[in-house]
Amino acid sequence: MYYFIWNQHSVSFSLSVHLIQSCVLCSVDGKFEVAVYVNALIDPDGCVTWIPPAIYRSSCPIRVNYFPFDWQNCTMVFRSQTYSANEINLLLMPEDNVTVEWVEIDPQAFTENGEWVIKHRPAKQIINERTSRDELDYQELVFFLVIQRKPLFYIINIIVPCVLFSSLGLLVYYLPAKAGGQKCTMSIAILLAQTVFLFLIAKKVPETSQAVPLIGKYLMFVMVFTTIVVMNAVVVLNVSLRTPNTHSMSDRVRQVLLNFLPRMMRMHMQPWAPKDGSGRSGENGYPFARRRRSSVGLIAKADEYMLRTARSELMFTRLKKRDGLMAIALQKIQNGLEEGTAQEIGASLAKASAEVQECVAACKHITESARQQSDFQNENEEWFLAARVIDRVCFFAMAMLFILGTIGIFLMGHFNRAPSTPFPGDPKRYLPE
């Protein structure tokens, strides 16, 4: 190759020019030919200008860690594949004595994208000092495009609906503690809705296994959240349906579930107080019976007796016996009162003592049965109140988990912004002044 200049007024000659082609290394189709071959413009000072129109299709890897709040840095690298730096110099075009270190965008040919916005568009000449000038990768021109995704479409169509129907899981805790079936039904319905929603947005999320997108992380979070709500509903239902015949509650558990936690959460509940030595509860409490032994055997005997005895006899046997005891005792006492003397009255009371003792024993039995029934109901109420407290604790815990998890996940995307300058540590903005 020869370099020369001439006087354009005194020299006339013909000249053939060998045009040097370069290629883009990140091309998609692998075609490096120009679209239309145009003439080259040769100046008297030896400068040859050749601007052929060409369309380059490039690709760049996309990082989806913060999708849909992500930004990408796409580059186009131009390098000669046939000539070294000794034969060709790759330089950025100067304009008005200023090197154009940015990507020129023609506003008439450029179409604004609805999903991406260009944040930075610098250009640089890269010299690889680790190689010699004879190597092809010694010099190259790199054009950068830093683009930021517009997340409004994904916020309106994906994030907001997902947050709204996931927050319905918190309404489960407003159902009564014993309504475990309704709680589980509502939670599972929300879980199914999340699964269907995940299938619907699968086409909107980039298909990659290199990283989990931010929206995918949030969907997994709300699904785990709803699953924990279902588990809480099952546990609360189990506690609310316990009875003294199957479970016993220790005083320490009562102190925590019926005194400490309700006072912390400002629940309007009657506080529990331990029994005194006489077996009665304190001033603000109520009696709690110990765990009763199983009555399966007694129930079996009662069923057998009722099957063998007529219904009319069951109704009047104990009544006749009671009336007979009372009539005999009153008759004996009345006989002593008719005589009027102290000896006769004492003798009549002594004769009626056996019947009176039986009446007293029957009254004691009735009183004891009523007390045991009351204690049984009170302990059942204890388990129900304990289930209410556990349900309220789970509500506060899951509400805090949902709010903090939602805010934390989306704050990660909010702070994932494109840098203010194209290159870290370089304050130059690489834009026309």
Tell which wins on pLDDT, 47 or 9. Answer: 47
- What is the average per-residue pLDDT within 191-201? 82
Tell which wins on pLDDT, 416 or 378. Answer: 416
The pLDDT score that the predictor gives to residue 61 is 83
The pLDDT score that the predictor gives to residue 405 is 94
Q: Would you place residue 408 in the very low, low, confident or very high pLDDT band (cuts 50, 70, 90)?
A: very high
Could you write out the DSSP letters of every residue in 35-63? Answer: SS--PPEE-TTS-EE--------B-----
C-beta of residue 181 within 8 angstroms of C-beta of residue 172: no
C-alpha 242 chain-centroid distance: 31
- What is the average per-residue pLDDT within 253-260? 84
The pLDDT score that the predictor gives to residue 182 is 85
Residues 6+ apart with CB under 8 A from 195: 223
Element (H, E) at 332: helix 311-339
Of 126-135, 173-182, 402-411, the range with the lowest mean pLDDT is 173-182
- As a whole number of angstroms, the distance between CA 76 and CA 432 comes to 20
- What is the average per-residue pLDDT within 8-26? 53
The pLDDT score that the predictor gives to residue 149 is 92
Percent of the chain at pLDDT above 90? 12
Strand 123-127 to strand 98-99: parallel, antiparallel, or no bridges (unpaired)?
unpaired
> Cα angle at 133 between 127 and 134, to 5 degrees?
135
The pLDDT score that the predictor gives to residue 404 is 95
Tell which wins on pLDDT, 40 or 30. Answer: 40
The pLDDT score that the predictor gives to residue 117 is 92
- What is the average per-residue pLDDT within 393-407? 93
Burial of 202 (0-12, 13-18, 19+ CB in 10 A): exposed
Of 74-78, 146-150, 202-206, the range with the lowest mean pLDDT is 202-206
The pLDDT score that the predictor gives to residue 284 is 44
- What is the average per-residue pLDDT within 76-87? 84
Percent of the chain at pLDDT above 70? 72
- What is the average per-residue pLDDT within 390-394? 90
- What is the average per-residue pLDDT within 323-328? 53
In tens, the pLDDT along 91-144 reads 888 888 888 888 888 888 888 888 899 999 999 999 988 888 888 888 999 999
Among 50-54, 81-85, 372-376, 415-419, name the most confident range: 415-419
Q: Please state, rounded to an integer, the average pLDDT across all residues of the chain.
A: 76
> How many angstroms separate the Cα of 151 from the Cα of each of 111, 112, 155, 158?
19, 16, 6, 10
In tens, the pLDDT along 259-317 reads 888 888 877 777 777 765 444 444 444 444 444 444 445 455 555 555 656 555 555 55
- What is the average per-residue pLDDT within 23-40? 59
The pLDDT score that the predictor gives to residue 289 is 43
- As a whole number of angstroms, the distance between CA 126 and CA 137 comes to 10
- What is the average per-residue pLDDT within 38-55? 74
- What is the average per-residue pLDDT within 144-165? 90
- What is the average per-residue pLDDT within 183-191? 87
> How many angstroms separate the Cα of 117 from the Cα of each of 73, 262, 426?
12, 54, 22
Tell which wins on pLDDT, 403 or 7. Answer: 403
Among 146-160, 197-211, 244-258, name the most confident range: 146-160
The pLDDT score that the predictor gives to residue 122 is 93
